[in-house]
Chain A
Amino acid sequence: MQKVLHINPDKCTGCQQCEMACSFENYGTYATAKSRIKVFDFHHTGKKVPYTCTQCDEAWCLHACPVEAITVDKATGAKVVNESTCVGCKVCTIACPFGTINYVQETGKVQKCDLCGGDPACADACPTGAITFIDANWTGLDKMRQWADKLGNQPSAA
Chain B
Amino acid sequence: MSWAGKILRVNLTAGTVTSEPLNMDWARAYLGSRGLGTKYLVSEIDPKVDPLSAENKIIWATGPLTGTMASTGGRYTVITKGPLTGAIACSNSGGYWGAELKMAGWDMVIFEGKSAKPVYLYVCDDVAELRDADHLWGKSVWQTEDMLKKAHQDPLLRISSIGKAGENGVLYAAVVNDLHRAAGRSGVGAVMGSKNLKAIAVRGTKGVGNIRDPKAFMAAAKTAKKVLADNAVTGQGLPTYGTQVLMNVINEIGALPTRNHRDVQFEGAKDISAEAMATPRKTDGKAQLVTNQACFGCTIACGRISKMDETHFSVQNKPEYWGASGGLEYEAAWALGAANGVNDLEALQYANLICNEEGFDPISFGATIGAVMELYEMGVLTKEQIGTEAPFGSAKALCELADMTAKGIGFGKEIGLGSKRLTAKYGHPDLSMSVKGQEFPAYDGRVVQGIGLAYATSNRGACHLRGYTIASEVLGIPVKTEPTESNGKPELVKAFQDATAAFDSAGVCIFTSFAWTLADVAPQVQAACGEEFTMEHLNHIGERIWNMEREFNNAAGFTKADDSLPKRLLTEAAKTGPGKGVVSKLPEMLPKYYEVRGWDSEGRPTSATKQRLGL
Q: Which residues of A contact B (CB under 8 A)?
A: 13-17, 20-21, 23-24, 27-34, 43-48, 125, 127-128
Contact A34 B294, CB 8 Å, known A21-B69, A28-B214: no
Min distance, Cβ A121 to any Cβ of chain B, angstroms: 10
Which of A21, A30, A44, A125 contacts B207, CB < 8 Å?
A: A30
B187-195, B285-293, B438-446, B549-557 - the one binding chain A: B285-293
Q: Complex formed: what's the CA distance from A127 to B325 in Å?
A: 23
Q: Does B130 contact A (CB under 8 A)?
A: no
Q: Complex formed: what's the CA distance from A128 to B68 in Å?
A: 18
Name the A residues within 8 Å of B596 (CB-CB).
none
Closest-by-CB residue of A relative to B291 is: A46
Whether the pair B292, A15 counts as a contact (CB closer than 8 A) is no
Whether the pair A23, B299 counts as a contact (CB closer than 8 A) is no
Taking A17-B69, A32-B99 as known contacts, 20 extra A-B pairs with beta carbons closer than 8 A to each other, sorted by chain A number, are A14-B294, A15-B294, A15-B301, A16-B296, A17-B299, A24-B69, A29-B207, A30-B67, A30-B69, A30-B207, A31-B204, A31-B209, A32-B207, A34-B205, A34-B207, A43-B179, A43-B324, A46-B290, A47-B291, A127-B71
Min distance, Cβ B5 to any Cβ of chain A, angstroms: 14
A-facing residues in B190-241 (Cβ within 8 Å):
203-209, 214, 218, 225, 229, 239
Q: Complex formed: what's the CA distance from A125 to B229 in Å?
A: 13
Closest-by-CB residue of B relative to A27 is: B207
Which among A13, A23, A24, A128 has the highest number of chain B CB atoms within 10 Å?
A: A13
Q: List 19 A-B contacts (CB under 8 A).
A: A15-B296, A15-B298, A15-B301, A20-B68, A20-B69, A28-B209, A28-B214, A29-B209, A31-B205, A31-B206, A31-B209, A32-B99, A32-B207, A33-B156, A33-B207, A43-B179, A43-B325, A46-B291, A47-B291
Name the B residues within 8 Å of A33 (CB-CB).
103, 156, 203-205, 207
Name the B residues within 8 Å of A21 (CB-CB).
69
Q: Which 4 A-B pairs have the closest CB atoms?
A: A31-B207, A29-B209, A29-B207, A44-B323
Whether the pair A15, B207 counts as a contact (CB closer than 8 A) is no
Name the A residues within 8 Å of B68 (CB-CB).
20, 30
Whether the pair A127, B324 counts as a contact (CB closer than 8 A) is no
Name the B residues within 8 Å of A24 (CB-CB).
69, 214, 218
Closest-by-CB residue of A relative to B210 is: A29
Name the B residues within 8 Å of A48 (CB-CB).
293
Q: Complex formed: what's the CA distance from A23 to B207 in Å?
A: 9
Min distance, Cβ A23 to any Cβ of chain B, angstroms: 6
Contact A45 B324, CB 8 Å, known A15-B299, A23-B207, A34-B207: yes
Q: Complex formed: what's the CA distance from A17 to B103 in Å?
A: 14
Whether the pair A46, B324 counts as a contact (CB closer than 8 A) is yes
Q: Does B259 contact A (CB under 8 A)?
A: no
Name the A residues within 8 Å of B205 (CB-CB).
31, 33-34
Q: Complex formed: what's the CA distance from A23 to B156 in Å?
A: 16
Contact A20 B294, CB 8 Å, known A31-B103, A33-B103, A43-B179: no
Q: Complex formed: what's the CA distance from A128 to B301 in Å?
A: 10
